[in-house]
Amino acid sequence: MVREVVENGLRQKNREQTHWSYREVVRKDGRLETREVCQTNSGTIDRLVAINDQPLSAEQHRREDARVQRLLADPSEIRKERQKQLEDSAKQFRMFATFPDAFRYEYAGREGALVKLAFEPNPQFVPSSRQEEVFHHLEGMMWIDPDQKQLARIDGRLTSEAKFAGGLLGRLDKGGVFSVRFSQLDSGQWVMVALHVEMSGKALLFKTISVHEQRDFDDYRGVPDNFTLLQAAELVGKPAGSPRQSAENTPK
């Protein structure tokens, strides 16, 4: 089943909607930030719209306007971030492709329409990258939609300390946890709706994901592939209220 899910996910990556606008809520250091985000071929534009569920003040609005205008005037920072995102996405899909071989799976029941699979490290698995080394220290649970062959949720926990190159390239401490949730839009496509990471250590597996991360995503809308950065900036600057696709069916 896991192999079918992986193969389906890789096929979807190449044929479905690739750019979105959405709302992102980031929790960090006791602060809650809400951002409107829009992806384009040239990179991603985001705009801060609320702090701790409170609208921005006039001065905060002016600062956000100035920040977005600076990015549009010199989009080199956007291009750099876009490159990081592309590199991370490639790493994540390579890791995802190894899931059928990296773990051993056991049926753990059903939750509604979803099948639950417990997973633990496969001692025979040989990692091909530093990122994959962490699989030898990871166990958890998957929720799979068996009809659509789609991963709906994955929770993981580090059962032992993960050292990279004997600790020279960093480490992740025992007990770290993560949770990623996906949900189906009205259009039928599946998107990520939550990414929660709480780990301790000094290893940076991805350039755009930290070891302390709580992000939730909603209000997805498809964006044309020819959308420009200027159009993206105009879109995230508009007040909310236009019709959006809802993300539902997420396992709680």
> Where exactly are the structural domains of the chain?
2-240
Q: For the whole model, what pTM was predicted? A: 0.86
Say what the pLDDT of residue 51 is: 96
pLDDT of residue 240: 52
User: What does the pLDDT profile of the chain (252 residues) look like in tens digits?
Assistant: 999 999 888 777 766 667 999 999 999 878 999 999 999 999 999 999 999 999 999 999 999 999 999 999 998 999 999 898 888 888 888 889 999 999 999 999 999 999 999 999 999 999 988 778 889 999 999 999 999 999 999 999 999 988 776 555 577 889 999 999 999 998 888 999 999 999 887 765 655 556 688 999 999 999 998 999 999 999 998 765 444 444 444 444
3-state helix, strand and coil shares in percent for the chain, rounded to the nearest 5: 30, 40, 30
Q: What is the pLDDT of residue 105?
A: 97
Give the three-state DSSP class for 60: helix
pLDDT at residue 247, as a whole number: 43
